[in-house]
Every structure is written in structure tokens, then in C-alpha cells.
């Protein structure tokens, strides 16, 4: 599929209007890194289909739309002169959403670091965080008169560990110390972006989005319970604690030893105060849970992830575990007490096919949404301050290292013709929203 995309250079906007290469352009061009040799040059061709895609968004009946700004399109050199054509695209996107009665939710960073900044060291270097602060100032200055909901960083765990620790994502490095250096600078970038938002956007609501998964011990043994706490420290507390002003969890700092940002001399001056500045909400991307056992010698955590027999799994081989969403939201409210909680991503991949009648019958995805929205209702009943939910995702898209093999969308995209088809899950979600607006039972 990727090779077919590469034969259609007249589509896509990866090389249009002044955009510079990102680390993902480089990663995709490296043989063996992305499934089928796919790349994101065309993807949904949203750049050229903006107006019709805005109509599509409106047709689903949502009242808010979350999107990400591409740093290489807006500030191609990473720092310095903004690109007017890049800013104009996002200005038109924002205006189009507002004209349709849809609230724009803007994410500043979703993993597409300009390659020029990676060449200078990337996220393991402090200068990258400072550059993101400057980039945030550019975007907030241009769009802050109309955009009032801001997410600084999307999933810093993924950008740090999968990018620099296990090498599955761009830039493909495999160094534990680098990955934790990157984690600190991503969190510092969050704090610096927050400063830019506060300075340039009166009345802004701002926060960060973390990918979180409740960690459960495989058994009730003390060893497995300790393993679940270590997993929680790595995937959840390492980001939650500093964002909520507690600094890094000491048990994880000790476990990391020389790989910790502290041992590397990277935590300076007022860093923790900058990272822990008050936010207006916490965004949570939730897809599954972790079930773990104590496993001495397996990685730096001494933890083994287990597959739960009898459970349903998605196309990504992620367990469908809606109860864990309830547990997670209640834990976040109890332990961190954020002013508001938003689910900023929740969804599932399945091997969708288009039937002869042109429809996509994705009952598994519909059931996934039903179960997780019910779990969210239980969290609200339990006292979680849930303020909103974003289904992931609107359209099938380029799914990073999995290329075009995995589909998350409630809208099917034919990547050869760019035809959009609302799936059965999309029709269900549209009707669910309509019922909710009318005050009818879900």
C-alpha cells in the first residue's frame, strides 16, 4: 500500500507550502521501520479536502473537534520565522469549525518533531523543549483569538520511550537514558507551552494529554502487586506526579539509577515548578489496561505483560477492558484531583472491510464505544469530574509504525480513491450524540 502511495505524488501535502521534513518522514524512508514501507505523504489528504472534511465532521453531530498542528509546517526550521502558508491552513480549519458550531481543540505537539531539531539532538536535548516553547508562542499568537482549548503535548510516554527507548517510533533510538532524558524535556516543553498559552490566550483552558492504562497484578501475591506498582510508575506516575506538582516518583528515580534525568543532571532550577504549573484539565488517552507479573531480569522494570485468557482483543492486540476505564478515572480523581477530566482518545482497530452495498459493518467497534461510554458513566456516578469525551478517531489514517494496516476511524477511507464512508460505528455514534442532545437515554 505504501508503494502505491508513493506513485501518486500529485496528492498529499507533505512537500507543499513550505513544510519541512519531520522525524517521521525520515523514519518512514528508512527500510524496515514502517509496515509495508508505508508513509504519511498522502494519508487522508486532509490538506486538500478541508472544506468537505469539515462538512463530514459536522454531519456526525459533534460539538468539539480535536486536531494537531504540524510543527514542521508552521515553523519549518524548528525555531525562527513562522511559515504564513502553514498558519493560514490552521486558521482556515479553525474558522471552518467555528462556522459550523464546532469548538476547536488544538494539540500543539503530536510527535512530528522537525528533522532539523532531531539533527541537533532531538528530545534528549534541553534546547528542543525551549524550541517548543517558542513554537507554542507562534501558534498561540496566531490562533489564540479563536481557539480557547489547548493541549500542549500528546502522549509524552510514547514520544519518549517508543521514540528513544525501544525504537518502535521515530527517530528509532534504543537507549534507556536517552528516553528518560526525552521524557523530562517533553514535560518541560509542556510547562513552557503552558506559559505561552497563559500569556497569549485570554480565557484559555489548557492541559496535557497522557496515555494512561490501569495496571493490575496477575495474582494477589506481594511480588505481582509490586510489579503492578512498578508498571504504574513507568507508564502513569512518571508523568502524572510531576504534572500535578509532586516531582518525579522517588521509587522510579531509584530504579532508573544512572538513566534517570536526575542522575544525568537534567533537572535544573525551576524545571519542576514549570512542569507542575496548574492546568485546567487532564486529557487521558485510554485504550486498554496492563496485567503484569513479577519477572526478575525482564527489562529494567522486572515485569512481564500478560495476555488474559478469555478476553476480547482488538486488531492492535489490546485487551478490551472497559471496567479499567472506570477504575482509572476514579483513581485519577482520588489521587490527583484534576479540575476536569477529558477522554481525549478512546477507540479500537479492527480489520474493516467494505461490503458489496458500500457499507462497513464494524459491530465490534460499536460495541467497544458502547462499553467504554457506559464505563465512563459509572466513573461519573462514582465522582469523577468528567467534562468531555473524544472518540478516536474520525477517519482511518496513517497509523505510525503500522502504516495503513490498522484502522481506528468511524469513517472508512479508501486510500486509493480518498472516498470517505461513514461506518456503522459512525452512524451509531452520530445517533448516540443526537439522543444525548435531546436528553434521551443513550
d(CA 94, CA 146): 7
End-to-end Cα separation, the chain, in angstroms? 39
Instruction: Write out the three cell numbers for 271.
Output: 524545571
Whether the CB-CB separation of 359 and 422 falls below 8 Å is answered with no
d(CA 422, CA 159): 31
d(CA 264, CA 334): 33
DSSP H or E stretch at residue 153: strand 149-154
d(CA 390, CA 35): 27
Instruction: Write out the three cell numbers for 270.
Output: 525551576
Give me the catalytic one of 178, 345, 356, 416.
Answer: 345
- Measuring CA to CA, which residue among 381, 310, 391, 380 is closest to residue 343? 391
Give me the catalytic one of 16, 155, 364, 438.
Answer: 155
345 is catalytic: yes
Residue 393: asked if its preceding bond is cis (omega within 30°), the reply is yes
77 is catalytic: no
Q: Which residues contact 421 (CB under 8 A, 6 or more apart)?
A: 354, 358, 359, 360, 411, 412, 414
Instruction: Write out the three cell numbers for 34.
Output: 514502517
d(CA 154, CA 111): 8
Instruction: Write out the three cell numbers for 372.
Output: 467504554
- Residues recognised as catalytic: 155, 345
Amino acid at each position: 500500500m505504501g508503494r502505491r502511495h508513493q506513485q501518486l505524488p500529485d496528492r498529499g501535502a507533505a512537500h507543499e507550502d513550505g513544510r519541512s521534513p519531520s522525524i517521521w518522514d525520515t523514519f518512514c524512508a528508512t527500510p524496515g521501520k514502517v509496515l509495508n514501507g508505508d508513509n504519511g505523504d498522502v494519508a487522508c489528504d486532509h490538506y486538500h479536502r478541508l472544506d468537505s472534511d469539515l462538512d463530514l465532521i459536522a454531519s456526525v453531530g459533534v460539538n468539539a473537534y480535536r486536531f494537531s498542528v504540524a510543527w514542521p509546517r508552521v515553523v519549518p526550521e524548528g525555531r525562527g520565522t513562522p511559515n504564513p502558508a502553514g498558519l493560514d491552513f490552521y486558521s482556515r480549519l479553525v474558522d471552518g469549525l467555528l462556522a459550523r458550531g464546532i469548538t476547536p481543540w488544538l494539540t500543539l505537539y503530536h510527535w512530528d518533531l522537525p528533522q532539523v531539531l532531531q539533527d541537533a539532538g532531538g528530545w534528549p536535548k534541553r534546547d528542543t523543549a525551549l524550541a517548543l516553547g517558542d513554537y507554542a508562542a507562534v501558534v498561540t499568537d496566531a490562533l489564540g483569538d479563536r481557539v480557547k482549548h489547548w493541549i500542549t503535548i500528546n502522549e509524552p510516554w510514547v514520544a519518549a520511550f517508543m521514540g528513544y527507548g525501544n525504537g518502535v517510533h521515530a527517530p528509532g533510538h534504543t537507549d534507556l537514558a536517552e528516553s528518560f532524558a526525552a521524557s523530562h524535556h517533553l514535560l518541560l516543553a509542556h510547562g513552557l507551552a503552558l506559559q505561552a498559552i497563559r500569556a497569549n490566550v485570554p480565557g484559555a483552558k489548557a492541559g496535557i494529554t497522557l496515555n494512561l492504562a490501569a495496571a493490575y497484578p496477575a495474582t494477589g501475591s506481594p511480588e505481582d502487586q509490586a510489579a503492578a506498582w512498578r508498571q504504574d510508575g513507568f507508564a502513569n506516575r512518571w508523568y502524572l506526579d510531576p504534572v500535578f506538582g509532586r516531582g518525579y516518583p522517588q521509587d522510579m528515580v531509584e530504579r532508573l539509577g544512572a538513566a534517570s534525568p536526575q542522575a544525568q543532571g537534567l533537572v535544573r532550577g525551576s524545571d519542576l515548578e514549570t512542569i507542575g504549573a496548574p492546568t485546567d484539565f487532564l486529557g487521558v488517552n485510554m485504550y486498554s489496561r496492563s496485567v503484569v507479573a513479577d519477572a526478575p531480569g525482564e527489562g529494567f522494570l522486572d515485569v512481564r505483560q500478560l495476555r488474559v485468557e478469555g478476553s476480547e482483543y482488538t486488531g492492535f492486540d489490546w485487551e478490551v477492558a472497559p471496567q479499567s476505564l472506570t477504575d482509572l478515572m476514579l483513581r485519577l480523581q482520588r489521587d490527583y484531583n484534576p479540575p476536569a477530566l477529558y477522554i481525549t482518545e478512546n477507540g479500537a482497530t479492527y480489520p474493516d472491510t467494505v461490503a458489496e452495498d458500500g457499507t462497513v459493518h464494524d459491530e465490534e467497534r460499536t460495541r467497544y464505544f458502547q462499553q467504554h461510554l457506559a464505563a465512563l458513566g459509572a466513573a461519573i456516578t462514582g465522582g469523577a469530574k468528567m467534562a468531555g469525551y473524544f472518540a478516536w478517531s474520525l477517519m482511518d489514517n496513517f497509523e505510525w509504525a503500522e502504516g495503513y494496516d490498522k484502522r481506528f476511524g468511524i469513517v472508512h477511507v479508501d486510500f486509493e480513491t480518498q472516498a470517505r464512508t461513514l461506518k456503522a460505528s459512525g452512524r451509531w455514534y452520530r445517533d448516540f450524540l443526537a439522543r444525548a442532545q435531546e436528553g434521551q437515554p443513550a
